[in-house]
């Protein structure tokens, strides 16, 4: 059974340093030149007019308010200890929403209101966070910020009307390094009011588990190794809670495939080149034009939606979907084509968002909030991960003005990966290391590579104190969290 396990990743470029002393020396380097850089920009531009132009480019990108149609969709489940078959005929003990991994897929239509009566039947407090969904502040699931943790035996009702259609997911925001790893995650799909007529709409939640020989979860969480490296990388990847599943489709089908990375730390880079796959949405939001998904990273938290047409007269009947993030590629899943007559799906154009600003001129306005990512010795785990020199317990909130144009900058001074996620808003990547990148889509999570600087543009439309953090659960646990206050 265990021969389907994949070895630990070699972590090629991530192995640059083994010793934390080097991390410290490099992480604590100074940022003076970055400050000079933003001052220069300030002098050369006329920020006011540029800002106004950027805002008008943004206008109409996504709605400020929800438009509830009066329909309520009720769900009810508990988070409970359970046992599931990641491998056929082998039980792995997990914690799971409704006893299943992944938890139930919640599907609603844009305009409908979701109401979930949630019960915590775990031995620990928990909450549910709706990753990527612009929810009212009180529904965001952040303990100590938007709600109190839900104690064992207690219930909580989450209720909100999503503002944006797309692929979202939910997970706990208490002891994430343990609770996500034990299997607590599920998909929330917000369909357009009139969904495109795909012959099939599939969700694949990608995860990886660190299992022992007996197929049970290795239960030391947030280890020194996890923290000083890129978090907990597992040895068993799963798709929808199964190791290397086979998915049967019919010739000629047109499929919408929604990929979600729910792993604690692993980055996936799934290779769909065996099939005709086009990127149509990222982090929930439809792109302004179709894009080539080749080489696209799917960091923890990220989603990628693909439009796939299965050949109607296939030469082969099996296609392997392979992960290529590390040097050691491995199969995620297999798609087989049934030996039946091709089906002829309705023809329709690839979905495209009416408006996603290019915003190249964001670089002409000054940086108004910088998030410097690095580490220091100390804290409960021996190493603390920091944003702007401070861990979560000492953090200073960043402030953004509601409905204003902002340029944020992530500066990774460390040699580790940091998929940075901001709650409550979508942002657009403008440059990587000063080079313009033209992503045709929004994001709520961006992977910041070692020593990389990323500039993003954002116009926050939702007021509140929003958590921002590294989505590598162990880095967040070791302090890499702060708040963005939108007022």
Interface contacts to ligand C2O, rule CB under 6 A: 129, 131, 171, 173, 301, 421, 423, 467, 469, 471
Structure tokens at 321: 């979907």
* Residue 445 neighbours by CB distance under 10 Å: 23
Contact 379, 476 (CB under 8 A): no
- Residue of 184, 217, 259, 470 interacting with Cu ion (CB under 5 A): 470
Q: How far is the CB of 314 from Cu ion (least distance, A)?
A: 41
Q: Closer to ligand C2O at the Cβ: 459 or 484? A: 484
Residue 475 makes contact with Cu ion by CB under 5 A:
yes
Q: Closer to ligand C2O at the Cβ: 131 or 370? A: 131
Stretch that binds Cu ion, among 13-21, 161-169, 191-199, 471-479 (CB under 5 A): 471-479
Stretch that binds Cu ion, among 22-30, 109-117, 218-226, 417-425 (CB under 5 A): 417-425
For the sheet with 303-309, list strands across it: 236-239, 200-209, 254-261, 303-309, 276-282, 285-291
Q: Closer to ligand C2O at the Cβ: 421 or 441? A: 421
Q: What angle do CA 76, 82, 85 make, to 5 degrees?
A: 115
Q: How many residues make contact with Cu ion (CB under 5 A)?
A: 4
Q: Which does 134 bind (CB under 5 to 8 A by kind): Cu ion, ligand C2O, none?
A: none
Contact 442, 281 (CB under 8 A): no
Enter the DSSP assignment of 159. Answer: E
* Residue 215 neighbours by CB distance under 10 Å: 18
Give the span between the Cα atoms of 369 and 322, in whole angstroms.
38
Stretch that binds Cu ion, among 74-82, 331-339, 390-398, 469-477 (CB under 5 A): 469-477
Q: How far is the CB of 468 from Cu ion (least distance, A)?
A: 12
Q: How far is the CB of 209 from ligand C2O (least distance, A)?
A: 18
Stretch that binds Cu ion, among 2-10, 24-32, 407-415, 464-472 (CB under 5 A): 464-472
Q: Which does 475 bind (CB under 5 to 8 A by kind): ligand C2O, Cu ion, none?
A: Cu ion
Give the span between the Cα atoms of 25 and 91, in whole angstroms.
45
Stretch that binds Cu ion, among 44-52, 168-176, 339-347, 467-475 (CB under 5 A): 467-475
Residue 177 makes contact with Cu ion by CB under 5 A:
no
Q: How far is the CB of 423 from ligand C2O (least distance, A)?
A: 6
Q: Which does 418 bind (CB under 5 to 8 A by kind): Cu ion, ligand C2O, none?
A: Cu ion
Structure tokens at 22: 């080097």
Q: Is 361 exposed, middle or buried (0-12, 13-18, 19+ CB in 10 A)?
A: middle
Q: How far is the CB of 262 from ligand C2O (least distance, A)?
A: 9
Contact 468, 481 (CB under 8 A): yes
Q: Is 473 left (phi over 0), alpha (psi -120 to 50) or beta?
A: alpha
Residue 275 makes contact with Cu ion by CB under 5 A:
no
In the region spanning residues 81 to 120, those forming contacts with Cu ion, defined by CB under 5 A, are none
Q: Which does 472 bind (CB under 5 to 8 A by kind): Cu ion, ligand C2O, none?
A: Cu ion
Residue nearest to ligand C2O (CB): 131
Residue 328 to residues 269, 322, 331, Cα–Cα distance (Å): 12, 10, 10
Give the span between the Cα atoms of 178 and 212, in whole angstroms.
16
- Residue of 472, 478, 483, 486 interacting with Cu ion (CB under 5 A): 472
Stretch that binds Cu ion, among 2-10, 327-335, 345-353, 418-426 (CB under 5 A): 418-426
Q: Closer to Cu ion at the Cβ: 326 or 445? A: 445
| Site track for Cu ion across 5-24, x = CB under 5 A | --------------------
Which residue's entry shows tokens 């083994």?
18
Q: Which does 470 bind (CB under 5 to 8 A by kind): ligand C2O, Cu ion, none?
A: Cu ion
Q: Closer to Cu ion at the Cβ: 29 or 68? A: 29
Which residue's entry shows tokens 């996890």?
226
For the sheet with 418-422, list strands across it: 398-400, 481-486, 464-470, 418-422, 445-448
Asked if the peptide bond before residue 102 counts as cis, ω within 30 degrees of 0, the response is: yes
Enter the DSSP assignment of 4. Answer: G
Which residue blocks in 59-102 are alpha helix, DSSP H? none
Give the span between the Cα atoms of 253 and 311, in whole angstroms.
8
Give the span between the Cα atoms of 135 and 247, in whole angstroms.
33
Q: How far is the CB of 418 from Cu ion (least distance, A)?
A: 3
Q: How far is the CB of 458 from Cu ion (least distance, A)?
A: 20
Residues in the site for Cu ion, rule: CB under 5 A? 418, 470, 472, 475
């Amino acid at each position: 059974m265990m021969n389907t396990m994949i070895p630990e990743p070699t972590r090629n470029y991530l192995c640059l340093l083994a010793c934390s002393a080097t991390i410290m020396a490099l992480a604590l380097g100074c940022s003076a030149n970055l400050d000079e850089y933003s001052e220069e920009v300030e002098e050369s531009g006329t920020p006011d007019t540029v800002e106004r132009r950027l805002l008008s480019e943004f206008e109409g990108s996504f709605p400020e308010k929800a438009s509830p149609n009066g329909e309520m969709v009720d769900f009810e489940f508990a988070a409970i200890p359970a046992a599931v078959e990641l491998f056929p005929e082998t039980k792995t003990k997990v914690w799971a929403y409704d006893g299943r991994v992944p938890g139930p897929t919640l599907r609603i239509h844009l305009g409908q209101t979701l109401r979930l009566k949630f019960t915590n039947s775990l031995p620990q407090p928990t909450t549910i966070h709706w990753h990527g969904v612009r929810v009212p502040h009180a529904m965001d699931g952040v303990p100590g910020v938007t709600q109190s943790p839900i104690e064992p035996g207690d219930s909580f009702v989450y209720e909100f009307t999503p503002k944006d259609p797309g692929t979202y997911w939910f997970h706990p925001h208490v002891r994430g390094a343990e609770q996500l790893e034990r299997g607590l995650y599920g998909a929330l799909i917000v369909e357009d009011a009139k969904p495109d007529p795909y012959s099939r709409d599939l969700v694949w939640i990608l995860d990886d588990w660190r299992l022992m020989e007996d197929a049970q979860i290795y239960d030391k969480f947030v280890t020194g190794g996890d923290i000083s490296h890129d978090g907990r990388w597992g040895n068993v990847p799963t798709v929808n809670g199964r190791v290397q599943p086979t998915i049967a489709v019919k010739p000629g089908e047109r499929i919408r495939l929604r990929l979600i990375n729910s792993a604690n730390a692993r980055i996936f880079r799934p290779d769909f080149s065996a099939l005709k796959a086009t990127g149509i949405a990222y982090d929930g939001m439809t792109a302004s034009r179709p894009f080539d998904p080749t080489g696209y990273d799917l960091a923890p938290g990220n989603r990628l939606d693909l439009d796939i047409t299965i050949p109607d007269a296939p030469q082969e009947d099996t296609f392997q979907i392979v992960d290529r993030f590390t040097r050691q590629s491995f199969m995620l899943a297999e798609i087989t084509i049934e030996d039946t007559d091709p089906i002829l799906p309705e023809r329709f154009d690839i979905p495209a968002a009416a408006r996603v600003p290019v915003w190249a001129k964001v670089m002409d306005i000054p940086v108004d909030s910088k998030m410097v990512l690095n580490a220091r010795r100390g804290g409960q785990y021996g190493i603390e991960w920091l944003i702007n020199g401070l861990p979560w317990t000492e953090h200073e909130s960043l402030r953004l003005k509601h409905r204003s144009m902002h340029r944020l900058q992530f500066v990774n001074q460390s040699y580790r990966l940091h998929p940075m996620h901001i709650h409550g808003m979508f942002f657009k990547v403008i440059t990587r290391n000063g080079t313009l990148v033209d992503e045709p889509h929004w994001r709520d999570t961006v992977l910041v590579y070692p020593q990389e600087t990323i500039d993003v543009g954002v116009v926050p439309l939702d007021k509140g104190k929003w958590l921002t953090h590294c989505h590598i659960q162990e880095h967040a646990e070791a302090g890499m969290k702060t708040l963005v206050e939108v007022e």
